[in-house]
Structure 1
Amino acid sequence: MVLCGIALIPSQVKSQSSIDKVLSEISKNNKTIQANQKFTEAQKIQYKTGISLYNPTVEYDYLKGSPANAGNQTDITISQSFDFPTAYTKKNQLANQQIQQTDIQQKIATQNLLLEAKKICIELVFRNKLQIPLTQRKQATEKWLDNFRKRLKSGDGNILDVNKAEVQLIDIKKLYLDNQSEIAKLHQKLIGLNGGSDIVFNDTVYFGFPAIPDFETLEKEIEENDPQRKFLEQEKVISQKQLEVSKALALPKMEVGYHYQGILGQTYNGIHTGISLPLWESKNTVKLQKAKISFTETALTDHKNEHYYEIKQLYGKYENLKSILEDYQKSTIINDNMRLLDKALSLGQISVLEYFVELNYYNATMNTYLETEKEYFETIASLMKHKL
Structure 2
Amino acid sequence: MKKYIITLLLTCSALFPLIAQSDQSSVLEQIERNNKTIQAQKQNLEAQKLEFKVDLPLYNPNFEYDYMIGSPSGAGSLTDIWINQSFDFPTAYGKRKKLSEGLVGQADLALMASRQEILLQAQKNYIELVFRNKLQKQISSRQAATEKLLIDFEKKLETGDGNILDVNKAKLQLIEINKEYQLNLAGINQLQQNLKSLNGGLDIELVTTDFPEESGLPEFEALFAEFKLTDPLWKYYELENETSKKQVELMKAMALPKISTGYRYQTLLGQTFQGFRVGASIPLWENKYKVRQKEAELSFAVLQWTDYQNTRYFELRQLYERYEKLSATLQDYRNVLENISSIAYLDKALELGHISTIEYFLESNYFYMAYTNYLQTENDYHQVKAELLRFRL
Query: Smaller-chain TM-score range?
Result: over 0.9
Pair 1:300 & 2:308 matched: no
- CA distance in 2 between counterparts of 1:203 and 1:182 reads 18
- Write out per-residue CA displacement over residues 78-136 of structure 1, whole angstroms, 9 at most, x where no aligned residue: 11111111111111111111111111001100000000000001001101110111011
Pair 1:216 & 2:192 matched: no
Pair 1:46 & 2:46 matched: no
- Whether the 8 Å CA contact 2:15–2:138 is kept in 1: the answer is no
1:74 is aligned to 79
2:116 is aligned to 111
Shift of 1:158: 0.9
2:291 is aligned to 286
Please state whether the residue corresponding to 2:55 is helix, strand or coil.
coil
Shift of 1:204: 2.7
* Amino acid in the other structure paired with 1:39: N
Change in CA separation of 1:298 and 1:333 when aligned onto 2, cut-off 3 Å: closer
Please state whether the residue corresponding to 2:96 is helix, strand or coil.
helix
* Amino acid in the other structure paired with 1:44: K
Pair 1:365 & 2:375 matched: no
- Whether the 8 Å CA contact 1:258–1:270 is kept in 2: the answer is yes
Shift of 1:184: 1.1
Pair 1:205 & 2:203 matched: no
| Percent identity for Structure 1 against Structure 2 | 46
Pair 1:348 & 2:353 matched: yes
Give TM-score scaled by structure 1 length: 0.95
* Amino acid in the other structure paired with 1:375: D
- Whether the 8 Å CA contact 2:196–2:204 is kept in 1: the answer is yes
2:175 is aligned to 170
- CA distance in 2 between counterparts of 1:267 and 1:361 reads 108
Change in CA separation of 1:8 and 1:382 when aligned onto 2, cut-off 3 Å: farther
2:130 is aligned to 125
Structure 1 stretches (4+) deviating beyond 6 angstroms?
5-8
Deviates more, 1:369-378 or 1:181-190: 181-190
- CA distance in 2 between counterparts of 1:186 and 1:202 reads 16
- Whether the 8 Å CA contact 1:7–1:334 is kept in 2: the answer is no
1:249 is aligned to 254
* Amino acid in the other structure paired with 1:103: D
- Write out per-residue CA displacement over residues 241-266 of structure 1, whole angstroms, 9 at most, x where no aligned residue: 11111111111111111101111111
**Is there any run of 5+ residues in structure 2 with no aligned partner, and where?**
1-8
- Whether the 8 Å CA contact 1:128–1:203 is kept in 2: the answer is no
Deviates more, 1:311-320 or 1:202-211: 202-211
2:6 is aligned to none
- CA distance in 2 between counterparts of 1:315 and 1:249 reads 48
| CA RMSD after TM alignment | 1.7
1:159 is aligned to 164
Pair 1:236 & 2:238 matched: no
2:195 is aligned to 190
- Whether the 8 Å CA contact 2:22–2:207 is kept in 1: the answer is no
2:5 is aligned to none
- CA distance in 2 between counterparts of 1:190 and 1:254 reads 58
- CA distance in 2 between counterparts of 1:112 and 1:184 reads 22
**Is there any run of 5+ residues in structure 1 with no aligned partner, and where?**
none
- Whether the 8 Å CA contact 2:132–2:184 is kept in 1: the answer is yes
Shift of 1:234: 1.0
Alignment of 1:133-152 (within 5 A): 133-152=138-157
Number of residue equivalences = 383
Structure with the larger RCO, 1 or 2 (CA within 8 Å, 6+ apart)? 1
Shift of 1:336: 3.9
- Whether the 8 Å CA contact 1:8–1:332 is kept in 2: the answer is no
- Whether the 8 Å CA contact 1:124–1:202 is kept in 2: the answer is no
- CA distance in 2 between counterparts of 1:50 and 1:294 reads 25
- Whether the 8 Å CA contact 1:8–1:329 is kept in 2: the answer is no
